[in-house]
């Protein structure tokens, strides 16, 4: 029978450990780190990479600075391979009871950096106490979530969403598609942060605030923020001096400059530890929600339910 009618036939004679190794290599971009993740020596992983290059007739990973970058062929393999291995692991676990204390399951999530900074320490502490052999991967980016959740490449995603006044009392709502499940984790306000010792003290009117030098967190380096929309409603514009991709960098920069940062209020305690304070401004900024999103095919999966519950508990009490 040809491979067209028997796609599994293409796997006959293939060492599936090669695909596990390839997934690790594509995940971390390093032979040394992939070897540690899989549990083999660096020499063995280098040998495996040579075999993979022969199997695919492609370099797969090439040197790029201090690390390794995937070729276009390898980049195209990353998500389908991750989803396939995840599906295989779930198939092997099918029908078995989920035991947090003994599971070695690796859970995968995608989330914004601000959520990671606030929740991951608590979440990891819960893992250590309840599922010490389980693993966690925080995947980059919130793009193409519908497909990644459907295939199992991701277990869950954490998605921020601006709220209108009418939505403030509602549940999180279907942000991506009606076919996806959502649960609100928290509701937050935006707050304005400056360094302790900043020459201005609040409350400030919108015009004075707009005239300050601002920092904008923008993962893409483009676009407007909620402040720009609120100021435009008053016929005002601000000057964004610096754009950075994440809130960790933003807090560090604002702590040592007179730049102004508008950020989720949930960061208030972390900002205070950085030497920042809040600044009261006469400007209406929207509230925003952070929601947990997953595919309904995993509703009844005991491990998936456990993981969702850990995220809900770890996020409890956040919001500013």
* CATH number for 131: 3.40.190.10
Residue 305 sits in the same domain as residue 280: no
Domain annotation covers residue 1: no
Name the pLDDT band for 173 (thresholds 50, 70, 90): very low
The pLDDT, as a whole number, for residue 96 is 62
Domain annotation covers residue 320: no
The pLDDT, as a whole number, for residue 5 is 54
Averaged pLDDT, 19-40: 86
List, for residues 92-106, the tens digit of each pLDDT value.
Answer: 665 567 899 999 888
Residue 146 sits in the same domain as residue 259: no
CA–CA distance from 234 to each of 204, 205, 231 (Å)?
A: 15, 11, 5
Residue 115 · residue 86 · CB < 8 Å: no
Domain annotation covers residue 275: yes
Query: Domains in the chain: how many in total?
Result: 3
Residue 226 sits in the same domain as residue 294: no
- Of 48, 73, 92, which closes a domain? 92
Residue 267 sits in the same domain as residue 309: no
The pLDDT, as a whole number, for residue 144 is 81
The enclosing domain of 67 has a CATH number of 1.10.10.10
Residue 278 sits in the same domain as residue 296: no
- Of 92, 126, 152, which closes a domain? 92
The pLDDT, as a whole number, for residue 278 is 93
Residue 294 sits in the same domain as residue 282: no
DSSP β-ladder status, 213-217 and 239-244? parallel
Q: What sign results for the dihedral spanned by CA atoms 186, 114, 117, 287?
A: negative
Percent of the chain at pLDDT > 90 equals 43
The whole model's pTM is what?
Answer: 0.69
The pLDDT, as a whole number, for residue 7 is 55
Residue 240 sits in the same domain as residue 275: yes
Cα 109 from Cα 144, distance rounded (Å): 13
The tokens describing 269, both together, are 């305690």
- Domain containing 282 equals 190-286
Residue 177 sits in the same domain as residue 308: yes
The pLDDT, as a whole number, for residue 257 is 96
The pLDDT, as a whole number, for residue 67 is 80
Name the pLDDT band for 319 (thresholds 50, 70, 90): low
Residue 112 sits in the same domain as residue 48: no
Residue 20 sits in the same domain as residue 84: yes
Name the pLDDT band for 2 (thresholds 50, 70, 90): very low
Domain annotation covers residue 100: yes
List, for residues 240-299, the tens digit of each pLDDT value.
Answer: 999 998 999 999 999 999 999 999 999 998 899 999 999 999 998 989 889 999 999 888
The pLDDT, as a whole number, for residue 165 is 53
Domain annotation covers residue 2: no
- Of 92, 112, 147, which closes a domain? 92
Residue 281 sits in the same domain as residue 195: yes
Domain annotation covers residue 273: yes
Say how many CA atoms lie within 13 Å of 271 toward its Cβ: 26
Residue 173 sits in the same domain as residue 106: yes
């Amino acid at each position: 029978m040809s491979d067209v009618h028997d796609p599994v036939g293409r796997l006959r004679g293939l060492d599936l450990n090669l695909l596990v190794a390839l997934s690790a290599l594509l995940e971390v971009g390093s032979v040394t780190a992939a070897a540690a993740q899989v549990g083999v020596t660096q020499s063995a992983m280098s040998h495996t990479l040579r075999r993979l290059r022969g199997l695919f007739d492609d370099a797969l990973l090439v040197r790029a600075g201090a690390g390794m970058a995937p070729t276009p062929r390898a980049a195209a393999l990353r998500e389908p391979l991750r989803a396939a291995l995840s599906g295989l692991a779930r198939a092997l676990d099918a029908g078995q009871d989920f035991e947090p204390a003994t599971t070695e399951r690796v859970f995968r999530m995608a989330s914004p950096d601000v959520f990671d900074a606030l929740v991951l320490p608590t979440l990891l502490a819960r893992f250590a106490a309840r599922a010490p052999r389980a693993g966690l991967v925080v995947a980059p980016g919130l793009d193409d979530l519908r497909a990644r959740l459907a295939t199992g490449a991701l277990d869950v995603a954490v998605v921020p969403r601006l709220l209108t006044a009418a939505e403030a009392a509602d549940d999180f709502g279907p942000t991506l598609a009606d076919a996806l499940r959502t649960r609100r984790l928290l509701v937050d306000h935006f707050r304005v942060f400056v360094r302790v010792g900043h020459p201005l003290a609040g409350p400030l009117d919108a015009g004075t605030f707009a005239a300050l030098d601002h920092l904008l967190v923008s993962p893409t380096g483009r676009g407007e923020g909620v402040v720009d929309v609120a100021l435009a409603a008053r016929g005002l514009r601000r000057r964004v001096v610096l754009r950075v991709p994440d809130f960790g960098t933003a807090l560090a920069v604002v702590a040592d400059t007179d730049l102004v940062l508008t950020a989720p209020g949930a960061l208030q305690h972390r900002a205070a530890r950085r030497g920042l304070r809040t600044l009261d401004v006469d400007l209406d900024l929207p509230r925003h929600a952070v929601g947990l999103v997953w595919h309904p095919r995993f509703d009844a999966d005991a491990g998936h339910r456990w993981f969702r519950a850990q995220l809900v508990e770890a996020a409890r009490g956040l919001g500013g």
